[in-house]
Amino acid sequence: MFGKLTWSAIPWEQPIPLITSLVVVLILLGVLALVTVKRWWPYLWREWITSVDHKRIGVMYCLLGVVMLIRGFADAIMMRSQQALAIGTSQGYLPPEHYDQVFSAHGTIMIFFGAMPLVIGFMNFLTPLQLGVRDVAFPTLNSVSFWLTASGALLVNISLFVGEFARTGWLPYPPLSESTYSPGVGVDYYLWAVQISGIGTLMTGINFVTTILKMRCPGMSYMRMPMFTWTAFAASLLIVAVFPILTATLAMLSLDRFFGWHFFTNDLGGNPMMFVNLIWAWGHPEVYILVLPAFGIFSEVFSTFSGKPLFGYRSMVMATLFICVVSMMVWLHHFFTMGAGPAVNAFFGIASSVIAVGTGVKIYNWIFTMYGGRVRFSVPMLWSLGFIFTFVIGGMTGVMLAVPPADFLVHNSMFLVAHFHNVIVGGVVFALMAGIDFWFPKAFGFRLHEGWGKTAFWFAFVGFWVTFAPLYVLGLLGMTRRLQHINFPQWTPWLYMSVVGVGILILGVISQVVQLVVSIRDREKLRDVTGDPWDGRSLEWATPSPAPFFNFAVMPNVEGEEAYWGIKLRAIETQRLGPEPQYEPIEMPVNSVVGFYTAVFATVTGFSLIWQIWWLAAVGLVGAFIGFVVFAWRDVHEYHVPADEVARVDRARRAARLALLERIAEREAST
């Protein structure tokens, strides 16, 4: 009746996962109770759960990403402390069965459910605003994408309490991940969680390629798009190109595991090397799906906080597309030691270092953006400068790893671990932190506390280096990754130092949380009444903060690069706004429950496939399909916002803008 699922699937005798999951369940119940008592359900349902507004979906993506980053960070704390405690004869506090799940979950959660949702959240929130349009091309599909990602995240976290998670690393290499060597449900949890969220991501890619190609406001030609939008476009192209590879590869592994097929097995013609090739043909572009939008965020930050246009905009676009294309030709550098032969290794080594040309150009262009500027060291700018330092060093160690004979010494070592954290934390996470401080007022109407933001930055920056610099050393000393205990006591000082770094990072995370709490408390003091708190340059700053659900009362008309900067300069020069436009009713997409509904049934399907409860899987699939059919036959898909309502919102915006103009004039008069 319930497939492999029995009461013994719950880890009654293992205190760590049991207590953790009890705490998580209690917190969840507490939140649900609070929402019920405060009667927030109708609001949540109407404004968030069924919303198809790209900004709301973007915020939900970011919320999911932040929660999962903290969850993954908890895993990281366990890994670092376990390795520091399990030296010599000691076994630490995590047995291999548990430790192996922890590092697998850490990687999976950080990439798929932490970094990806945050990056996609920024793409959602910003792209339509920067393009001067009211929504993405397929708003309801967007909601489905988000809820499928949330469904995948839920499945990963269910594995903590019911059954187990994969013990194979974040990319489950066969033969280890085949049913012979991993007979439990751990790998299945991985497979279905990633499959379900991967489908969501693929639809996001399609949605944004379409949005950017087809839905720009009048005058917004390709070479006038803000840099972030360009990078979102490149990342979406990569998603469309490579996520099908991931889906197909994981589907083949599932067929091996469920039905005893032989795509990647040891015998009967199976070839595990093929899995490694395929997964990295997705896996390497995935890195650039994360880091390109991060580069976009830095481009916006450097230009805004230097008070100047981005230096070499065309060069930046070229470098972005260059990276986008070349990133698909480098995957083999993840396994030089497979023995592919010198010509193949050399080709992929050179291709990998060629990517550094694109990133190198970007670094120099950011530096020259500051040249002749008036650089303000606000929180986003601190993260960006910290990024240049961290990422350049990460890039250097990356090119070291791209040299095959050097890689033969440090492949899979702690050096590698330090390298990719150097670029993913230093590149992607720093960008996300910068972006959160930068665009928070646009989403919520008030700025984040500056002092706590700076505190968080310094703790994170110092903590990062204290944690990961020792790992470089350990890698050079020969320490490989994923060790549950350490047989070589001479590595002890470096392992201890790394734990100290984690302690500093914890302070950084706490400061970040405090920043949020303090900012919510002081929101009236931090309120952004202008809609343009940073002296911005692209169209999102032309809207009030928070942006109204229809973004723009009338479509902006773009007449050059840096659309909003041009409008603003004209207004400052003439000391008045443009003439009040003729307000017309606006068509907006109606809310839809289909995203949430689909995700509920996707979760049921995923869970039952993991436990091989076939009838329930059928129920889930049929249920999801019914949702699709009902949605396809809908009669009403748009509604009109009356012209009066549009006029009311926009007149308030214009009044705020006029006040801003007067303030600028006063300031200029006084200096």
Q: Exposure string (b/e) for 467-497, b if CB count within 10 Å is 16 or more?
A: bbbbbbbbbeeebebebbbbeeeebeebbeb
Residue 142, H or E segment: helix 139-158
The active-site residue out of 51, 151, 201, 236 is: 201
Q: Choose between 380 and 627: whose C-beta lies nearer to another protein.
A: 380
Q: How far apart are the first and last CA of the chain?
A: 79
Of 486, 505, 602, 617, the one binding another protein (CB under 8 A) is 486
Scan residues 93-112 and list those touching another protein (CB under 8 A). 95-97, 100
> Does residue 613 bind another protein (CB under 8 A)?
no
Please choose, out of 7-15, 73-81, 248-256, 419-427, the segment that lies near another protein by the rule CB under 8 A: 7-15
CB 309 to another protein: min, Å:
4
CA 534 – CA 528 distance, rounded (Å): 10
Annotated active-site residue 334? The verdict is no
CB 130 to another protein: min, Å:
18
> Does residue 532 bind another protein (CB under 8 A)?
no
Please choose, out of 362-370, 426-434, 516-524, 644-652, the segment that lies near another protein by the rule CB under 8 A: 362-370
The three-state (H, E, C) secondary structure of 543-605, written as one string: CCCCCCCCCCCCCCCCCCCCHHHHHHHHHHHHCCCCCCCCCCCEEEECCCCHHHHHHHHHHHH
Q: Are 380 and 435 in contact (CB under 8 A)?
A: yes
Tell me 641's DSSP state: E
Cα 468 from chain centre: 21
Please choose, out of 6-14, 133-141, 293-301, 631-639, the segment that lies near another protein by the rule CB under 8 A: 6-14
Annotated active-site residue 180? The verdict is no
Give how many residues touch another protein by CB under 8 A. Answer: 107
CB 258 to another protein: min, Å:
14
> Does residue 609 bind another protein (CB under 8 A)?
no
Establish whether the linkage from the previous residue to 546 is cis, with ω within 30° of 0. yes
Annotated active-site residue 666? The verdict is no
Of 55, 71, 134, 167, the one binding another protein (CB under 8 A) is 167
Annotated active-site residue 329? The verdict is no
Please choose, out of 172-180, 225-233, 238-246, 436-444, the segment that lies near another protein by the rule CB under 8 A: 172-180
The active-site residue out of 60, 73, 75, 650 is: 75
CA 391 – CA 398 distance, rounded (Å): 10
Q: Choose between 25 and 367: whose C-beta lies nearer to another protein.
A: 367
Q: At what angle do helices 96-108 and 186-214 cross, to 10 degrees?
A: 10
CB 521 to another protein: min, Å:
29
Please choose, out of 226-234, 394-402, 582-590, 629-637, the segment that lies near another protein by the rule CB under 8 A: 394-402
Establish whether the linkage from the previous residue to 175 is cis, with ω within 30° of 0. yes
> Does residue 571 bind another protein (CB under 8 A)?
no
Annotated active-site residue 671? The verdict is no
Q: Which residues share a beta bridge with 87? A: 486
**Which sign does the torsion angle of CA 50, 53, 54, 57 carry?**
negative
The active-site residue out of 53, 100, 135, 650 is: 135
CB 426 to another protein: min, Å:
12
Please choose, out of 19-27, 241-249, 481-489, 601-609, the segment that lies near another protein by the rule CB under 8 A: 481-489
Of 23, 25, 223, 396, the one binding another protein (CB under 8 A) is 396
Annotated active-site residue 313? The verdict is no
Scan residues 186-205 and list those touching another protein (CB under 8 A). 186
The active-site residue out of 55, 284, 447, 653 is: 284
Annotated active-site residue 485? The verdict is no
The active-site residue out of 54, 56, 60, 61 is: 61
> Does residue 543 bind another protein (CB under 8 A)?
no
CA nearest 226: which of 123, 327, 135, 325?
Answer: 123
> Does residue 176 bind another protein (CB under 8 A)?
yes
Annotated active-site residue 138? The verdict is no
Q: At what angle do helices 430-444 and 272-306 cross, to 10 degrees?
A: 60
The active-site residue out of 71, 106, 134, 442 is: 71
CA nearest 384: which of 419, 434, 441, 420?
Answer: 434
> Does residue 164 bind another protein (CB under 8 A)?
yes
Scan residues 405-444 and list those touching another protein (CB under 8 A). 405-406, 408-413
Of 232, 460, 611, 653, the one binding another protein (CB under 8 A) is 611
Q: Exposure string (b/e) for 621-643, b if CB count within 10 Å is 16 or more?
A: bebbeebeeebeeeeeeeeebee
CB 385 to another protein: min, Å:
6
* The token pair that represents 277 in the structure block: 């090739």
Annotated active-site residue 530? The verdict is no
CA 641 – CA 162 distance, rounded (Å): 47
Locate tokens 């190198």: which residue?
360
Residue 534's φ and ψ, nearest 5 degrees, are -110, 10
* Position 369, amino acid: T
Q: Choose between 397 and 519: whose C-beta lies nearer to another protein.
A: 397
Tell me the three state secondary structure of residue 232.
helix
CA 54 – CA 589 distance, rounded (Å): 11
Of 482, 523, 527, 654, the one binding another protein (CB under 8 A) is 482
Q: Are 99 and 82 in contact (CB under 8 A)?
A: yes
Q: Are 223 and 314 in contact (CB under 8 A)?
A: yes
CA 646 – CA 554 distance, rounded (Å): 9
Residue 400's φ and ψ, nearest 5 degrees, are -60, -45
> Does residue 343 bind another protein (CB under 8 A)?
yes
450-479 mask for another protein (x: CB under 8 A)?
Answer: -----------------------x--xxx-
Q: Which residues share a beta bridge with 357? A: none
> Does residue 388 bind another protein (CB under 8 A)?
yes
275-314 mask for another protein (x: CB under 8 A)?
Answer: -------------------------------xxxxxxxx-
Catalytic residues: 61, 71, 75, 79, 103, 124, 135, 142, 145, 149, 201, 204, 211, 284, 286, 288, 299, 315, 359, 362, 419-421
